[in-house]
A = this chain, B = another copy of it.
Amino acid sequence: MSPVANYRSTTDHAELDRVLASAAGAAGAWAAGGADARAVALEGVADALEAGAGELVPVAARESSLPQGRLESELTRTVFQLRLFAEVLRDGRYLDVRIDHADPDWPMGAPRPDLRRYLQPIGPVLVFAASNFPFAFSVAGGDSASALAAGNPVVVKAHPGHPELSRLTGDIVSEALRRAEAPAGVFSVVYGQEAGVAAVQDRRIKAAGFTGSITGGRALFDLAHGRPEPIPFYGEMGSNNPVFVTLAAAQARAQEIAEGFIESFTLGAGQFCTKPGTLFVPAGSGMVEAIKQAGLGGVHGMLNRRIAEGFLSAAGDLRNHPEVEVLLSGPDSPDGPGPVVLATTAEAMLADPTALQSEVFGPASLVVEYHDLDQAVQVAGTYAGQLTAGIFGQDDCPVQDLLAVLTQIAGRVIWNQWPTGVSVTYAQHHGGPYPATTAVTSTSVGTAAINRFLRPVAYQNLPQHLLPAELQDENPLGLPQMIDGQ
């Protein structure tokens, strides 16, 4: 387990100022270089990371305690999402090009001028890296990929949990961008909390992405919105990801569900924002017994000592709740604490939702016995915003009311699958009402994530030669265009 403050150096004020100045200086050229050039550059970064796997993965394993196989597949995902954003750039729909020709008879009572609008880069983006995905949500992770793809310079605030990996990844990304003739300053990594706090308040930063704890995310959100010029702050924070098992599902496949549950909540030592933190099971259905029977093995070590201590403290608070008992516990390993399944009742949760719905980051989950679907609906309605919520049911289960409530509280609603393992796709949504995220209208995973770092600009009555190529009648870039609303 690496100590949390293992980084060798922090970025001082003068260096941060140079980084931000060069990011601001790179914005115009990176945006103007065009989407095709950015697609090639992103693919160059993807290739370089892939080629660097042999060097990157061992450093990641040493700094994060995560298993090599997991890190290899995380790197594959990281490389894939860079390539997927290259595809988004070539597709061009993300620009949302709209052209309205002048119309003297426009029925609003006044002639319509020629108006053309598309989405442009928002400006330099600050990305706060996460600890638990040293590749996919860190230096070269999703926020960096979407912000770069959108045409923005990126400044990553490295996570102190993997400083050497951050530096190594940053060097590989920067070198690949240099080879792709991206402007100097388009990508940098800075180190230390002070640098992050200063950068999020700097006028040259125009948006920020964050993945981490509610406490840290809210503090940075407050700074971003307290600026003289507030900026969008996209924080992906905590989630408890409740999963409900119906009586029919429990009767049909208690053992399968119990095993899947244990596999999902202990995956990565429970250090996922989508870990199923609560499993609602019908009282007397045999689910509790099936979970007991499935048993708990050990898990690998946690990311660092601070996170392990946080886990032990939060899990301890939950275990010491008067209405909670221990259902199962797994062995501690030399590298970290063992997993635990706790148990309570829906009545207890209704009486004290704040305590029993708080996130425990690490290998713990709470099994909650409920009596009937009405009670399940009632307790689901007490949840704050969640990244995911799920149901294990049979096709004929009358779960419509439960689904409706889960849709209100969560960004992704899942049927008969576990929430861990967030696929990077066109239709993915990784977000949700606060405190799952600070920006309920946006996603941090999937192709729609690019929209967070774009702003619309409209041009009125410009002659063709002064219009951006994206908006010209000739459509030299061959983009999808909405013309006169069609």
Contacts and interface: CB of A to CB of B under 8 A. Distances in A.
Interface stretch (A9-17, A285-293, A363-371, A451-459): A451-459
B443 A456 contact: yes
Interface stretch (A108-116, A152-160, A169-177, A185-193): A108-116
A117 interface: yes
Contacts of A395: 463, 465
A416 B84 CA distance: 41
A111 to B, nearest CB: 8
B466 A423 contact: no
Interface in A401-425: 403-404, 407, 410-417, 421, 423-425
Nearest to A482: B426
B423 A463 contact: no
Interface string A434-449: 1100111111001110
Interface residues of A, number: 88
Contact of A458 (B96, B427, B459): B427
B423 A113 contact: yes
A395 to B, nearest CB: 6
A191 to B, nearest CB: 28
Q: Quick one: which of A28, A440, A463 has the most chain B CB within 10 A? A: A440
A404 B399 CA distance: 54
Nearest to A438: B230
A435 B451 CA distance: 21
Contacts of A407: 120, 457
A461 interface: yes
A322 interface: no
22 contacts: A28-B404, A73-B109, A76-B108, A77-B108, A80-B107, A96-B448, A100-B425, A112-B423, A113-B417, A116-B427, A117-B427, A117-B448, A222-B226, A229-B384, A395-B463, A411-B458, A412-B457, A413-B458, A413-B459, A415-B462, A426-B484, A441-B452
**Closest 6 interchain pairs by CB?**
A429-B458, A98-B427, A76-B109, A80-B108, A117-B427, A100-B427
